Chain A
Amino acid sequence: MTELDLYREVARIRALELLLNRYISEHGFGGFWHPGLGQEGIQAGAVAALRNDDYLFYAHRGLGYALAKGMSPVTLLADLFGKTGGSVGGKGGGTVHFVDPERGVLGQGGTVGSSFVLGAGAGISAQMLGTDRVVAIFFGDGSSARGTWHEAALTASVWKLPLVWVCENNGWAISVPIGEQSPTENIADRAAAYGVPGVIVDGQDTLAVQAAMTEAVARARAGEGPTLIEAKTLRVRGHFEGDKQSYREDVVDGLDVPRDPLKLLREQVPAEDADRLEVEAKAEAEAALEEVLAMPTGDASVITEGVWV
């Protein structure tokens, strides 16, 4: 993806993040919204290296992953607000689920770290069916503690499954800082134990994320197995919108993103293009929210749908 295309994606995600921040601070939210403000560059940069038919298991922090994979902001916001126009028919909300089989968006679990094992399974299908699809699995530093990662990583590496694990290390798992969760500074150091490359990248540098991801995807597609990418970033907001963060000394005041990925990327593109894309992104986000707020929520008939085939 060109710098300009990437800028468009980061700007689109940012516009939605800011709009949601404003809307939720005014109206509240029925569930937990985990803002991804400041982590847009990782989400857009990594997804940019995927093909449309590659698989995506996203994490809970924001909606940038699915937007970058091509899902419409109307669908995503509808899922967020539990509206019928969403992809999960009013069953999202809370830890928000989106799905789009046509674009390889395969969902997430309500329990973080679910996707390590499921993503490995999608890689087995790709391997068995002889497609060269790759599976991207996003997770946070806190989720890297899950046993599911260890169980999946061992076998995925032995079987050379076409996976890329993208760790968004934002320094926090709710209230516990990374230094109290991990004996090593870098999550990527663990890659050696699984016999896979562990790559550390600046998560605010969208182009660097894209470059690392492109290499990892090529490796996976070539049948050489998984790669772990650790993108270093910072959790700008609370764990969920409304979290007072009493446990935290380095609270970011307001919505200013330190080492803002959008501003860093802006240096790479013509100013007038950047301005135009930002205006477009804002308009897209606002129109989407307006459309979604006017949608009905599901009636009781949806409750019993989709339990069994």
Chain B
Amino acid sequence: MSPVTVESGEPLGYARAINAALMEEMRRDEKVWMLGQDVGKMGGVFGVTRGAFDEFGPGRVRDTTLNETFIVGAAVGAALTGTIPVAELQFADFMMIAGDEVFHKMAKWRYMHGGKLSVPMVLRLPTGVIGGVGAEHSQSLEALGMHFPGLKVVLPATPADAKGLLKTAIRDPNPVLYFEHKGMYRMKGPVPDDPDFLVPFGEAAIRREGGQMTVVATGLMVPRALEAAERLAADGIELEVIDPRTLVPLDMETIIASVEKTGRALVVHEAVRTAGPGAEIAARIQEAAFFALDAPVWRLGALDTPIPQSPDLEQLVIPSTDDIEAAARELLAL
């Protein structure tokens, strides 16, 4: 049997899949609620929470003002006291405004209080480039979540995972940073409608099987890596594409098993290359599989610059399908 993750169900957009997860979980458990800017009647600036206000009312779908420290901090306080908040920041970049709340309160309140309290909450973070929203609305900051023990970090790359991982996040007793790629909101794919469809944390998905190189890709880089793999396959080169799906916990077992088979590894992400998630993944690959490697582990990431405002320029900053294809060919030739 092929280990490739097969998704089934009716086709649904990535944003609609997130919406379905929210609605299902709010129906399942009345302790689940949401807060954020414009999440109510408007349904969020990206329309992801549409319909929730009408179904659940203003007590469970709360529009806040422009107060990010409140959105995250109040979610932490509510999580400590018996409800399960799903907080939305309009852009993942705004995490920095609530830095103390995200990286200290969310991550450490349980630890600082002897494990006697828990923080069951989800922080939804629209991430990545979307075309012209510039340096403070386009960043991929998921590596920050990996740097603060206490947080879990999720990064879905398909509509099915967007749904299944969010449902798991809401049911997880830990605080979860849920990075949803805003450039993928309209992407369609099969999504199960089973209300108990959950995608477990810490289990990477093998998106494509191949024996010549392991490509570890996250978020928007997953479809790009798959496209690059398709092109190489035309030349008889088979890439194995692995999507970790969650960065904390991180399924290194699947990645290492693949690298031991292929002997080569390329890690691709949209975050800046320096100290991006790929730095950690590449380091762990060489620690665990050094003697299986036929070539150095390579990383592809965004250039070490802020994201420019122009939609054309921003695409030049992050890895393209061409970049992935070229890097893979070069790495294979080493």
Binding site for B on A (CB under 8 A): 55, 86-92, 97, 99-101, 106-107, 109-111, 114, 116-129, 147-148, 151-152, 154-155, 158-159, 305-309
Contacts and interface: CB of A to CB of B under 8 A. Distances in A.
A155 B112 contact: no
A309 B118 CA distance: 7
Given A120-B73, A121-B75, A125-B77, A99 B116 contact: yes
B5 interface: no
30 contacts: A88-B113, A91-B112, A91-B113, A91-B114, A97-B114, A100-B116, A101-B117, A107-B113, A110-B104, A110-B112, A111-B104, A114-B73, A114-B100, A117-B73, A117-B76, A118-B77, A120-B74, A121-B74, A121-B79, A123-B77, A124-B78, A124-B83, A151-B68, A154-B67, A155-B70, A306-B114, A307-B150, A308-B174, A309-B110, A309-B172
Contacts, number: 153
A57 to B, nearest CB: 8
A125 B82 contact: yes
A212 B30 CA distance: 36
A117 B82 contact: no
Given A151-B70, A154-B67, 5 more contacts: A109-B109, A120-B70, A128-B83, A148-B70, A306-B110
In the complex, which of the residues A111, A119, A125, A148 has the most CB atoms of chain B within 10 Å of its own CB atom?
A: A125
B72 interface: yes
Interface pairs A-B: 3 shortest CB-CB: A121-B77, A117-B73, A306-B115
B59 interface: yes
B173 interface: yes
A55 B81 contact: yes
B110 A151 contact: no
A82 B114 CA distance: 11
A117 B101 contact: yes
The secondary structure that dominates the B interface is mixed
A165 B174 CA distance: 28
Contacts of A92: 114
A129 B111 contact: no
Interface string B162-186: 0000000000111000000000000
B187 interface: no
Contacts of B83: 124-125, 128-129
A78 to B, nearest CB: 11
B14 interface: no
B201 to A, nearest CB: 11
A117 B149 contact: no
Contacts of B174: 308-309
B306 to A, nearest CB: 25
A198 B296 CA distance: 65
A99 B113 contact: yes
A118 B80 CA distance: 9
Interface of B: 31, 33, 59-60, 62, 64-65, 67-70, 72-83, 85, 100-101, 104-105, 109-118, 149-150, 152, 172-174
A308 B73 contact: no
B309 to A, nearest CB: 28
A306 B110 CA distance: 7
Contacts of B79: 121
B110 A122 contact: no
Contacts of B60: 128
A109 B76 CA distance: 12
Given A87-B116, A91-B114, A121-B85, A152 B74 contact: yes
B274 to A, nearest CB: 27
Contacts of A306: 110-111, 114-115
Contacts of B111: 91, 306-307
A155 B78 CA distance: 14
A135 B72 CA distance: 18
B289 to A, nearest CB: 26
Contacts of B104: 109-111, 114
Given A117-B77, A117-B101, A124-B77, A308 B150 contact: yes
A81 B134 CA distance: 49
A111 B107 CA distance: 14
A114 to B, nearest CB: 6
In the complex, which of the residues B101, B116, B149 has the most CB atoms of chain A within 10 Å of its own CB atom?
A: B116
A264 B173 CA distance: 48
A100 B113 CA distance: 9
Contacts of A116: 73
Nearest to A309: B173
Contacts of B67: 151-152, 154-155
